[in-house]
Amino acid sequence: MKELLEKIRQDALSALRGDESSESVRIRFLGKKGELTSVLRGMGAVAPEERPKMGQLVNEVREKIEAAIAEKAEKEKREALEAKLKAEKIDVTIPGDDLSVGKRHPLAQTEAAIREIFIGMGFSVVEGPEVEYDYYNFEALNLPKNHPARDMQDTFYITDNILLRSQTSPVQVRTMENSKPPIRIISPGRVYRADPADATHSPIFHQCEGLVVDKGITMGDLKGVLELFAKKMFGEDTKIRFRPHHFPFTEPSAEVDVSCWECGGKGCRLCKGEGWIEILGAGMVHPFVLSNCGIDPNVYSGFAFGMGIERVALCRLGIDDMRMLYENDVRFLSQF
């Protein structure tokens, strides 16, 4: 009996060492009809006084076999997992699913970037009509009918009195008429000028103008605001330069250049060797405009500025032809 148990033990362990699976070994030795189970069944034939001793021996053998089976089972599980993982291997270079999220138009993105900077400085966004009265687009802005400065902007007219706004300044006039200082607004939007389309012109384009009216506003404040804008928009090292200019609605007036962000002012292709890029027009609100809108120029002063959103977008994104923005080729749109 003892030898038999020893043999079972030996057989079971050697079976486990071989190719036989742990489950098959378990069934062969420990199953209902297994070899060790048979031995146990045959315990009836063992002398009663030997039974405890034999029982103990059987248990020992069983434990040993069970432990060996468990060990083998663990190994088999590990191997199976490895095989499975290996089989599940994916070529990670295969492209992912096309989830096709759309893109905001580059002009919308640029407008949002400009807006965000000014909102951070306490400016509100105001919009207004695109078809306007001549009064709001010109007359209230110190540009009476037949003023030669009207030639600076070729304007589309609907009637003698109604036109497509050539600037977003009418929004400023409407704002000044309807609210009291302090005023701090920007007015982004579409404007229209009778310029045929080419790489740098478009009969429809977008502007973002700004207006600040309060007590004690200075030209230094104008520079401060625009300098901050330029740094946020084009990088912390950006500088600005004012050049005297003429706008009928501001006095003094300036054209504002920012240092080229591509070359830092040394001169390159982007800035055409100038080191500066013209981005803005600006100035101190003309007292005529203030009083026209019911604001006392002896009490209040203010500044205004304006920029072309297309121009900023073209410069920022490195687009060399404005017409691309209105073609809306999806291969273009998806780049931004």
Q: Which is nearer to another protein, 135 or 270 (CB)?
A: 135
Is 18 strand, coil or helix? coil
Q: Which is nearer to another protein, 61 or 226 (CB)?
A: 226
Q: What tokens does 330 get?
A: 């999806």
In whole angstroms, the minimum distance from the beta carbon of 92 to another protein comes to 25
Q: Which is nearer to another protein, 30 or 197 (CB)?
A: 197
In whole angstroms, the minimum distance from the beta carbon of 67 to another protein comes to 46
β-strands 131-133, 162-164 pairing: antiparallel
- Report angle CA 208, 176, 157 to the nearest 5 degrees: 60
- Kindly report whether the peptide bond that precedes residue 95 is cis, defined as omega within 30 degrees of 0: no
CB 199 within 8 A of CB 320: yes
CB 189 within 8 A of CB 127: yes
Q: Which is nearer to another protein, 233 or 254 (CB)?
A: 254
Q: Which is nearer to another protein, 28 or 316 (CB)?
A: 316
In whole angstroms, the minimum distance from the beta carbon of 324 to another protein comes to 11
Is 133 strand, coil or helix? strand
In whole angstroms, the minimum distance from the beta carbon of 196 to another protein comes to 6
In whole angstroms, the minimum distance from the beta carbon of 261 to another protein comes to 19
Q: Which is nearer to another protein, 220 or 318 (CB)?
A: 220
Cα–Cα distance between 129 and 151 in angstroms, integer? Answer: 22
Instruction: Report the amino acid identity of residue 238.
Output: T
Q: Which is nearer to another protein, 28 or 147 (CB)?
A: 147
In whole angstroms, the minimum distance from the beta carbon of 70 to another protein comes to 41
Which candidate, 300, 259, 302, 264, places its Cα nearest to that of 278? Answer: 259
In whole angstroms, the minimum distance from the beta carbon of 193 to another protein comes to 11
Q: How far is CA 122 from CA 85, 115, 185, 210, in A?
A: 58, 11, 8, 12
Cα–Cα distance between 76 and 28 in angstroms, integer? Answer: 18
- The set of residues, in sequence order, having a beta carbon less than 8 Å from that of 16 and lying 6+ positions away, is 22, 25, 68, 69, 71, 72
Q: Which is nearer to another protein, 29 or 276 (CB)?
A: 276
Is 251 strand, coil or helix? strand
Instruction: Report the amino acid identity of residue 125.
Output: V
In whole angstroms, the minimum distance from the beta carbon of 210 to another protein comes to 11
